[in-house]
Amino acid sequence: MSDDVFEFLLRLGDNTLVLGHHLSEWCGKGPVLEEDIALANTALDLIGQTQMWLGLAGEVEGKSRTADDLAMLRDAWDFRCCLLVEQPNGDFGQTIMRQYLFDQWHLLALTALAQNPNNQIAAIAAKAAKEVTYHCERSAELIVGLGDGTPESHARMQSALDLLYPYIGELFETDATDSAAHFDPASLRSAYDAGLAATMAEATLTLPDSRFAHKGGRTGARHSEHLGHMLTEMQWLQRAYPGATW
Amino acid sequence: MVKPSTAQVWDWLDQVPDPEIPVISVVDLGIIRDVQWQDDTLEVTLTPTYSGCPATSVIELSVDAALRDHGVETLTLKRQIAPPWTTAWLSDKGRAKLETYGIAPPNPAGGPTRCPRCQSENLKRISQFGSTPCKAQWQCRDCLEPFDYFKCI
């Protein structure tokens, strides 16, 4: 039971950690200053949420591992993030599409988790949902602005959607780990699809026909090749100088 | 030492500035949730604003330092995240100070009501995110000055 809850908390914390790290890679490189700042702020929120999720995971596990230990001292096969957040930044359109697809799921998931019978899970979810509401508004606005924009921006958003759409199916797979934490991601799918269809219609983008879904991130069975590269960079200092603090 | 009253402690905490916006105090910001004595230990409960706010630990340090300066020797700081912090907890005094400082105070309708510089209501949003996670960037169409808006959360 507590093993399942530990795994479940890793899923939440690893999602926000990996996505937060990818967003922070934009710092100083954003297309305009306001977007650069917005991406960095979103990254900050997600890393803050990571500290709470992984901090709680460490407590539940009961082996004295801190949030930092879990972030910096695990290898790719121990991560439980979804494949969507592992996907590289690509161009700005791909980053925003990944963000939109995740944000919409994230808000639905956090809203549901805010009612979780585990008070600590509910408290973190309720707090995080407030921040993620802003992330959602922003990424949806950008999807519409860029999708229904110039021929160049439209084409880039369409190819980002085609590339990333096969990664959302994994977010809605309910398994024993979710059930142990009283969470049912499958129940979020219809609200997600309705929101997605409305935004994409406004953005003049076409949803792919196929519902084929890549899977294996949330269970750790098969991560994409991108995760290892990201972790190598993120964990470099702890790998080179174990136990270093400053 | 003689144990100061909790009212006295609240008063001292109202002198501790927010590190990002020094015109308002940590009490104005609404993050001090409770002050009470547990035997000889002063227990101060704080609710962080944003999850990733780097000011959270700085605020805890300044609260600790301020109370020790006033002679409180044994104190514990408790971090409480539920119920989550909301801008509704900002004091009226704090809201007025924010505006004088040039930051439009949070407004449940979703945006600033007037330019903190010229009071014009002719405004536009530049970005949902500003210099810190708690602020958005807006601009006044009349005086043309950009300004920070303290987001409603």
Question: Is B129–A48 a contact, with Cβ atoms under 8 angstroms apart?
Answer: no
Instruction: List pLDDT tens digits, range A217-229.
Output: 999 999 999 999 9
Return the pLDDT at B97. Answer: 95
Q: What per-residue confidence (pLDDT) applies to B134?
A: 87
Contact B40, B74 (CB under 8 A): yes
pLDDT of residue B109: 82
pLDDT at A155 over 60: yes
Overall average pLDDT of the A197-208 stretch: 98
CA A21 to chain centre: 10
d(CA A163, CA A108): 23
Burial A195-219 (b: 16+ CB within 10 A, else e): bbeebbeebebeeeeeeeebeebbe
CA distance A188 to chain B (A): 24
User: What is the chain B residue with the closest CA to A128?
Assistant: B51
Dump pLDDT digits (tens) for A75-105.
999 999 999 999 999 999 999 999 999 999 9
The complex's ipTM works out to 0.88
CA of B136 to nearest chain A CA: how many angstroms apart? 9
A126 chain-B contacts, CB cut-off 8 A: 82-84
Q: Are A13 and B17 in contact (CB under 8 A)?
A: no
Please determine, for residue A1, whether its predicted confidence score (pLDDT) is greater than 60: no
Say what percent of chain A tops pLDDT 70: 100
Is B39 a residue whose pLDDT tops 70?
yes
Report pLDDT digits (tens) over A101-152.
Answer: 999 999 999 999 999 999 999 999 999 999 999 999 999 999 999 999 999 9
The pLDDT assigned to A194 comes to: 98
Query: Cα separation of A86 and A19, whole Å?
Result: 7
> Is the confidence at residue A246, as pLDDT, over 90?
no
A17-70 confidence digits (pLDDT tens): 999 999 999 999 999 999 999 999 999 999 999 999 999 999 999 999 999 999
C-beta atoms of A44 and B50 within 8 A: yes
pLDDT score of B55 more than 90? no
Q: What is the pLDDT of residue B10?
A: 96
The phi and psi torsions of B152 (rounded to 5 degrees) equal -80, 130
Tens digits of residue pLDDT in B108-123 = 888 999 999 999 999 9
Q: What pLDDT, on the 0 to 100 scale, is given for residue A177?
A: 96
How far A124 CA sits from the closest chain B CA (Å)? 7
Neighbours of A86 (CB within 10 A): 26
Quick check: A230 and A79 in contact, CB under 8 A? no
* CB < 8 Å to A34, chain B: 126-127, 129, 137
